[in-house]
Structure 1
Amino acid sequence: MPELDPAALDPEDSKLVVLARASRARTGAAEGAAVRDTDGRTYAATTVALPSLKLTALQAAVAAAVSSGAEGLEAAAVVTAAAEADEASRSALRDLAPKAPLHVAGADGEVHTTH
């Protein structure tokens, strides 16, 4: 998928970044993520790091959406210290939304890539 201009972020997508950032800050997790389904509902989650279960924040947000009955996603955002969302996160999103934009932002909420 071609890279998009992060400065051209849709206001609804900006809300996803805010939700992801707030979730991460509230829990002190490594990552925060948020997704919006095709009905406009949002789901936020953070990294899950239990001895028996490990999920990236985006995997957890996608799982929350799916378990709530979402059939598709319109957009996603991840707040992370990494330069990019990892492959497991991207794969979880693409399973449900092959063409949805994925915004990756730093802890300050500044989006540095959109795919």
Structure 2
Amino acid sequence: MTDLPATEPESGFDVANPEDAKLVTLARSTRARTRARSGAAVRDSDGRTYVAASVELASLTLSALQVAVAMAVSSGARSLEAAVVLADAPGDAAGAAAVHDMTPGVSVFFVDGSGEPHS
């Protein structure tokens, strides 16, 4: 799977890998269940997974990836090893920044509703 955007370093993310495919599946199911604009999943260095949907309230707007990173941090995760955002359009600069604050160099993969990389 090619990482997006092209400026992200290669981390070996592969949807054929069951653990990586799980992130896509969890992000997809969370997005569908909540009817949110996007879903995201991150895996920490201990193998724990955090899944979230975007939040859009009058007083608070967070991307799904920002919420997933916040959940990981608040649960005591020290670093991340993978991050996936499932949305209709690629991109989430604020979410990617949160991932990189936690673990510089981790690629953030943007996939569409079918789990395919955005082109």
Q: What residue is the counterpart of 1:43 in the other structure?
A: 50
Task: Report whether the alignment pairs 1:95 with 2:101.
Answer: yes
Secondary structure of the structure 1 residue equivalent to 2:83 = strand
Question: Taking every aligned residue pair, what percent have the same amino acid on both sides?
Answer: 53
Give the TM-score normalised by the residue count of structure 1: 0.87
**Mapped partners of 2:76, 2:12: distance in 1:** 31
Report the CA distance between 1:53 and its aligned residue. Answer: 1.2
Task: Report whether the alignment pairs 1:105 with 2:114.
Answer: no
Q: What is the aligned counterpart of 1:79 among 81, 86, 94?
A: 86
Q: What is the aligned counterpart of 2:66 among 59, 82, 92?
A: 59
**Mapped partners of 2:11, 2:106: distance in 1:** 12
Task: Report whether the alignment pairs 1:18 with 2:25.
Answer: yes
98-107 vs 37-46, which moves further: 98-107
Instruction: Output the amino acid matched with 1:99.
Output: G
Contact 2:43/2:83 (8 A) holds in 1: yes
Instruction: Output the amino acid matched with 1:98.
Output: P
Report the CA distance between 1:99 and its aligned residue. Answer: 1.8
1:88/1:107 Cα in 2 relative to 1: closer, same or farther (>3 Å)?
Answer: same
The Cα RMSD (Å) is 1.9
Secondary structure of the structure 2 residue equivalent to 1:34 = strand
Give the TM-score normalised by the residue count of structure 2: 0.84
Report the CA distance between 1:37 and its aligned residue. Answer: 0.5
Q: What residue is the counterpart of 1:33 in the other structure?
A: 40
Contact 2:9/2:106 (8 A) holds in 1: no
